[in-house]
Amino acid sequence: MEKEELVELQVSGMHCNNCALSVHKLLEKKGLHDIYVDFANDEVKFKTDDPTSTPLIIKEIEGLGYKVSEDSIPIEEKSYEKIENKFYFSLLFTIPLFSHMFLPFHWLHNPLVQLALCTPVYILGCLHFGKSAYHSLKNGIPNMDVLIFIGSSAAFMYSLYGTIQNLGPDFLFYETAATIISLVLLGNLLEKRSVSQTTSAVRDLMLFQEVKANKMLNGEIVEIHSSEIRPGDVLVINSGDKIPVDGEIIWGEASINEAMLTGESLPVEKSKYDQAIGGTMIEKGSIQILVTKTGKHTILSQIIELMKKAQAAKPTIQKLGDKVAAIFVPVVVGISVITFFLAFYAFDVSFQKSMLNAIAVLVISCPCAMGLATPTAVMVGLGRAAKNGILIKGGNTIEEIAKLKFMVFDKTGTLTTGNFKIRALDCIQISEKKAESIISGIEGYSNHPIARSLVTELSLKSPEKMIFIKVTEEKGLGMTATDSEGNTYMFGSMQILNSDEDPGNYSLFLKMNDILVARIAIEDEIKPEAVNLIKTLKKLNIIPVLLSGDQKKKCEELGAVLGIEEIYAETMPHQKLAIIDEIKKRGKTAMVGDGINDAPALTSSDVGISMSDSSHIAIQSAEVILLKSDLSSIDNMLKIGKHTLLTIKQNLFWAFFYNIVAIPFAALGFLNPMVGALTMAFSDVIVIGNSIRLKTKSL
């Protein structure tokens, strides 16, 4: 199978969630994957197995009535294409037309004056809603614009017939046609502005990239834009400046505020050889950095991409709304037709009143609110999580978080600090100095917290390291290496011991040519926030589980201190996988881990949670990355997940409730089309407003 290619397009002309749904459904019908449609920012992304089909897909999107560009630069809308200007234009004619109902000016009651005022608004409606309705029907994806177009056209054509036949004021509904179009345009305008607030977290992050930079060039400092920076450039960054891209500090010291990345308000002290992350800010000091990553390769860009993908991933709860919205338009048209015939023929209601009731049913129906209910809440929830240093990779993960029954923890580097000290070194057949040299050399190739701690401690004690020609790491076992003389070494847990070899009270073992030559006892400290987290989980009826490759005795001691009853010790990666699968049968399960040996379990669990200082493989395997190694982030994650799901349920309730109540009221004649159009516009705003409330809501 060919590798999937990501296609990014700029699509202008999408004014509401209804437009975005039309594009999304079209791309789904084409069998594309990882579809992301953001009408507020005119962005469309998808993955395809066949990149040569992209021009055809672009043509089909244009067939829906939108403009498409493959350039990353947004398409500049002409002034008459902007939704604001369309609304103001229609309002200019609608106000005098509508005012004839309560102003005593006889000329406003003249059918020809009303026709003259309504015609420009109706033509605008045909171009805006009619064009979209036609293309949606042609592509078999009927949208909300079909209802608006039928409703406004019915009112206009009926009034035009009354004017031509001179049938009197009872046949004139020009103000209804114009008001429907104006109010729905107002709804589109409010929706676009409101949704742009729900995506502000991504936009805020993108703004961090738009900065100037001071580049060292031939001994002089030259100011350039961040887009002109290339890997290998040397940048000078002073107090108060933003760091434009990722790099390594080659000169100077600074206090760097990384709050935008981790949510941590206290600045981090950094000096030579430390990593500087693009988007963070220097509060005090001055540094020079050697640029290592630019553009899409920087940590900030990857976070932005992950957030966009997360917003595109649909929670299971949204599928209900999608199914209803898919059949909604034809059902509403059917109800409208039945309303007209029952009122006119069965209940002897006047033709005009029957027509108005049918139009009201069309106009008041609002699948937009259903379509907006989930994505707006997910966007705000993901944004709030990101500002708290919690990166959630999928909108569907939010729902999983809210339903967790078990949380499984790795021990080392997760519940404990991962800062190990050597308590005892027992050398059996080699000198202490040689043992330290071998261990320091072999562990330098591992990213495991124990390995990092041992290398740091041994480097201070003895800077000598043995050189190896080949080193490999085996999950759950340890390191294997070969030196230039052909000697083989193994360093790892008690799993590498033979049955006749005594582990004693030691944790790690060194073998040379399959003979045990040294043993190490290490000690680790519990993270200060671990005890409170376990208490919080129990209050939330989430069962904590300890799953570790460490010795049973050590795991039981840790479990006793923290209050964890369910413990699995001395497990290999494949065993961790089997245990996670068993726990999942009892309820939704999260796994919190940080090492290469946790990767399979992180992938298998319903929600994989990884620390930011974890191994690269662990980060790739997880659905949630905690940008702070502080375990209290998990408490925040659970609260955000719970309140986001609650907001989605509230939104869906109001969206369904609105339609269930409004359609019968309209069919029975209690709501005229103009009131219907107004309430339809504001039902969207209520749903979006409830989602935006999640930004500042107390958790």
**Interhelix angle for 395-402 vs 316-341, to 10°?**
100
Pairing of strands 275-276, 268-270: unpaired
Task: Write b or e for each residue in 146-156: b if 16 or more Cβ atoms lie within 10 A of its Cβ, otherwise e.
Answer: bbbbbbbbbbb
CA distance 297 to 315: 28
Q: Are 687 and 191 in contact (CB under 8 A)?
A: no
Q: Hey, which residues are catalytic here?
A: 410
CA distance 11 to 32: 17
Q: Residue 393: name the closest of 651, 695, 10, 34 by CA.
A: 34
Supply 176's token pair. Answer: 């209804």
Supply 591's token pair. Answer: 């796994």
CA distance 613 to 595: 10
Supply 381's token pair. Answer: 């929830």
Q: Is 238 helix (H, G, I), strand (E, B) or coil?
A: coil
Pairing of strands 543-547, 406-409: parallel
Q: Residue 562: name the closest of 683, 414, 673 by CA.
A: 414
Phi, psi of 232 (to 5 degrees): 100, -15
Q: Residue 329: name the closest of 594, 141, 67 by CA.
A: 141
Which amino acid is located at 174 in the chain?
Y
- Residue where the block lists tokens 């009122």: 343
Phi, psi of 58 (to 5 degrees): -60, -45
Q: Residue 160: name the closest of 173, 175, 178 by CA.
A: 173
Count of beta carbons in the 10 Å neighbourhood of residue 158:
21
